[in-house]
């Protein structure tokens, strides 16, 4: 396999991230996890295939189970060979994705959380108090805390601002350190 990691795209919906990862040759093995498979997934797959963008012999699967059932099973026994990604997964889903990925020692984790609120952020009262004291949005404090947790768990992590139309998002990318 050339040492390529498998990729799991959680909350992947239409599968665009998974298809781009395949088309770029970053892997030839991707599973999309999302309990609601839209018709656009098949439309996008057909478009990528008709444009010959997907590698020969690739594996692309769609797992329609909830992430708390699908992700642990996909990582079980092979977490060190898997990169877990999630683009615009709500804060509470992102937290669950990161917790499951850490428990399985995933090779890497890349998330772009959204929808931060007191309802979705762990320790929201403390995080909100810190955000207010620093004059920062709750999402910034929550993402910085996640970054710290990944570092503490033995991952080399990066936090990057992604400018969007009206709201800035933060991408958190972490790769397990090799001992």
Q: What is the pLDDT of residue 1?
A: 45
| Average pLDDT value for residue range 139-153 | 89
Per-residue pLDDT tens for 76-109?
978 779 999 999 888 888 989 999 999 999 999 9
Distance CA 62, CA 177 (A): 29
Q: Which residue has the higher pLDDT, 86 or 162?
A: 86
Range of weakest confidence among 101-105, 117-121, 137-141, 165-169 = 117-121
Distance CA 128, CA 116 (A): 10
Q: What is the pLDDT of residue 164?
A: 66
Distance CA 82, CA 176 (A): 11
pLDDT over 90 (residue 138): no
Residues in the chain: 179
Token pair of 94 as six digits: 């992102």
Burial zone of 105 (CB within 10 Å; 0-12 exposed, 13-18 middle, 19+ buried): middle
Q: What is the dihedral of CA 21, 170, 128, 106, to 10 degrees?
A: 40
What secondary structure letter does DSSP report for 55? P
Burial of 110-121, coded b for 16+ CB within 10 Å and e otherwise, reads bbbbbebeeebb
pLDDT over 80 (residue 119): no
pLDDT over 80 (residue 3): no
pLDDT band at 121 (very low <50, low <70, confident <90, very high): low
Range of weakest confidence among 1-15, 34-48, 53-67, 100-114 = 1-15
* Global confidence as pTM: 0.88
């Amino acid at each position: 396999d050339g040492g390529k990691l498998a990729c799991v795209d959680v909350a992947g919906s239409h599968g665009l991230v998974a298809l781009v990862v395949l088309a770029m040759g970053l892997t030839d093995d991707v599973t999309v996890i999302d309990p609601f498979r839209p018709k656009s997934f098949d439309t996008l797959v057909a478009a990528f295939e008709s444009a010959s963008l997907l590698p020969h012999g690739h594996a692309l699967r769609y797992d329609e189970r909830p992430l708390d059932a699908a992700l642990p099973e996909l990582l079980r026994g092979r977490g060190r060979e898997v990169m877990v990604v999630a683009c615009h997964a709500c804060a509470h889903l992102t937290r669950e994705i990161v917790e499951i990925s850490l428990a399985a020692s995933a090779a890497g984790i890349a998330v772009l959380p959204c929808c931060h609120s007191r309802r979705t952020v762990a320790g929201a009262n403390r995080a909100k108090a810190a955000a207010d004291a620093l004059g920062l949005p709750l999402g910034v404090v929550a993402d910085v805390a996640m970054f710290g947790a990944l570092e503490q768990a033995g991952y080399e992590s990066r936090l990057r601002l992604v400018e969007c139309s009206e709201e800035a998002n933060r991408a958190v990318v972490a790769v397990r350190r090799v001992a």
